[in-house]
Amino acid sequence: FPVDERGTLKSVVEYFRETYGFSIQHVQWPCLQVGNAQRPNYLPMEVCKIVEGQRYSKRLNERQITALLKVTCQRPQEREGDILKTVRHNAYGQDPYAKEFGIKISTQLASVEARILPPPRLKYHDTGRERDCLP
């Protein structure tokens, strides 16, 4: 990336070593691009931390909203099938990055105990009289 007005190029590894005296251990990991399109900053993943409770506050675009709704409005059996299909397709057991990070993904879904809660009663006014219903 360019580091000065003359357009001198340096790698992120060189820049961090020369500027901060920091040796990047995982040179094969991708960098995070922060800043904006006109002035991007590249940070090695190993110098970044996700702060507990950190939120993403930017609005999703229409395509992202549509994709999110499509995935979240599935029937349980469809969701289960999609999850298992994705796990098989991605073959995490053979993925070199997953191995390097020590990530292990089971090919079976986890089983948890659950219960179905009764629906709440709804109260509302209809022509001035209080009504309630069970949805």
* DSSP of 13-29: HHHHHHHH----S-TTS
Q: Which pLDDT belongs to residue 84?
A: 93
What pTM, to 2 d.p., does this model score? 0.42
Beta strand segments in the chain, E: 31-35, 40-44, 122-126, 129-133
Contact yes or no for 32/40 (Cβ under 8 A): no
What confidence tens digit (pLDDT) does each residue in 101-122 have? 888 889 899 999 999 998 887 7
Domains in the chain: boundaries: 1-53, 62-101
Percent of the chain with pLDDT over 90: 19
Q: Which pLDDT belongs to residue 110?
A: 92
Task: Report the chain's mean pLDDT, rounded to a whole number.
Answer: 84
- Say if residue 5's pLDDT is above 80: no
Higher pLDDT, 63 or 4: 63
Contact yes or no for 31/12 (Cβ under 8 A): yes
Q: Which pLDDT belongs to residue 9?
A: 82
What confidence tens digit (pLDDT) does each residue in 29-40 have? 888 888 787 877
Q: Which helix (H) or strand (E) holds 100?
A: helix 96-101
Compute the residue count for the chain: 135
- Say if residue 81's pLDDT is above 90: yes
